[in-house]
Structure 1
Amino acid sequence: MLQEIIEPAWLDAFEAVLGRCALQKGDTVAILAETQSRPILPLLARLAAQRLGAQVFTLTLPSVVGRAGPPTRSTGASDAIQQIKPVIHALAASTLVVDCTVEGLMHAPELPAILKGGTRVIYISNEHPEALVRLMPDDATEARVKDHIKRLRAAKAMTVSSPAGTNLRISLEGAVAGGNWGFTTRPGTLTHWPGGIALAFPAAGSVNGTLVLASGDVNLTFKRYVESAITLTIENDYVTAIEGAGLDAQLMRSYIEAWGDREAYAVSHVGYGLCDAARWDSMALYDKRDFNGTELRAFAGNFLYSTGANEVAGRYTLGHFDLPMRHCTVQLDGATVVDHGRVVD
């Protein structure tokens, strides 16, 4: 799939997902885009919303370019709104916001004010439409994610181990747990498509141990499969050592150091993927510009460790790594929920 022109299957998929968001005739839909958005995504969103009889308008904001410092990737925090109050008011007053920004509004500072207006937000991940069609939300994924969110919220501790040497101890007391399944019908909530993830943002001082990235694990900030082992030592949330002889460890050390920010070394969130349709090997089949990586965050049985901003712990930074890992065993209060990379339902 090389050409981003309108295909009937893509438009049908967008219509189905907006329909799952309970969009009805006469509802108001705000499509949020920026100048660097993938053009086909807001176009498909507009046509799909019009098919469903909604009143649609599009806000296209200037992308922030020319920022000093390291390139930012996979932050989940679009900075396109720039606290412009009329934009926030327009989004908050809409029935549904279709977020087609590059990074999405998940961690954007304006999101609380937008959701407070009672709207609901669906972030269309900045993927090629072919990937979105493959990863349509379904009832089974919704039920599975909701079940695992309940497990995370009820648990006091998570432990993670792997044959490669990972041995993490994570306190979930004071954590904020959640997840998504690719659509939302409840006012004041946000989801993203593709979905299929359950995760937790730990409170400060909750994570200790060793994290070993083995061959085939993924650094999504770099959109790169790990080829040589990287060992991270984590003490009271912070990565205190990045060990490894290969290029992968060198790249990680270089990028995280470039921020000059201690918070870039801290834990952001931990969780695991629950989407059976998502594939670990899919990144090998796309050019980097066509791939945002939500599929690799969601593939069933991966353990996802992320560094960077964590509002629950009071930490804010643009430095960020998303690290989906295979073959891990995840336990909640001693009960296994992922067994060597396979989800236990």
Structure 2
Amino acid sequence: MANFDHLSAELDQLRVDGRYRPLTVWDSGSDTWMVLNGRKVLQMSSNNYLGLTNHPDLKKAAIEAIETYGAGSGSVRTITGTLRIHDDLERELASFKGTEATLVFQSGFTTNQGILGSILGSDDVVISDELNHASIIDGIRLTKANRKIYAHKDLDQLEQRLKESGSFRTRLVVTDGVFSMDGDIAPLPQIVELAERYDAIVYVDDAHASGVLGRFGKGSTDHFNLHGRVHIQVGTLSKAIGAVGGYMAGSQLLKDYLIHKARSFLFSTSQPPSVAAMCLAAIRVLKNSPELTERLWSNTHYFREKLHKFGFDTGQSETPIIPIIVGNPAATMLFSDALLAEGIFAQGIVYPTVAMDKGRVRLIITASHTQEDLDFALDRLQHVGKQFSLI
């Protein structure tokens, strides 16, 4: 008789290693302070960088879209699932990103899967940073392309990989704009220069740069003033934008191709109209509210400087993603639990998401955090950090 005993054994091993973590079920919506088991705790792990999940313009847009279009779209985009609100969103996004076109997917994960899984073949090569997001890794696995990895942000090794790849039809270099576990920024200007020298395509996943880097949160291409030199930009609508979804920003040719070839686009029902409307409203808020990103960065600089003064190891962080490196997986989870007991939710991140000896509590600073919130967190972190001999 078929059974799942091997799955049970793997879960038991996770418990032994201290890496087992059940889902956290919240009693309130995403916000700075949230209710967990009847108790208010400070949220320090949310990707809601700009606090837009509760912005009145987004809520109003969602309600109006439901009244106009109904609860769902009813189909995939290529049949009856492209409503006027979807087209309006893509036009607004293209204008915001400064590209010919955009194409919206159901999530950032399916965006990478759909693009990478469709544009590369056996005559091509993809060259990927070793710390790229899992969705990039899985997207590459869906291709028949040759695969090369370069050490994290190692430009010499990237150039060597490009030199080795001259015989391929297409050379594609893919990198995160901001790396999700360490909070460091890709050296995009140098990557672009190397790609141009070796006639390669540049593909940037800006999941954690969308709404964070660049003017009005336009992303890493804008941050480095590389407009027209990055061929494929991937953005998310699930983090700083405050809703859910992902998108490709690039040429009209690429959009037309993906509509016909990207399987995650072709075979998934489109965003509910309320979600598309929220995303559209969020882009308009960004364009008219530069103070949101300014506050985000002011909070980030203040918080990281204080952590450094305490003596915490925050790795290579340059952005609102600020890891506190603990090391051992079990100790990492115990540190996270101790912070929760003090009123701070800061999720532990351990292997296989990061290396076995690089367990960390990943803190994410937002524009919604007040000075009082940050000082409360810093006080509790200093207290618990001393208990764990981290400072």
Please confirm whether the aligned pair reaches a TM-score higher than 0.5, indicating the same fold: no
Which structure carries more helix by proportion? 2
More contact order relative to length (CA 8 Å, sep ≥ 6) = 2
Which structure carries more strand by proportion? 1
Kindly name which structure, 1 or 2, has the bigger radius of gyration based on alpha carbons: 2
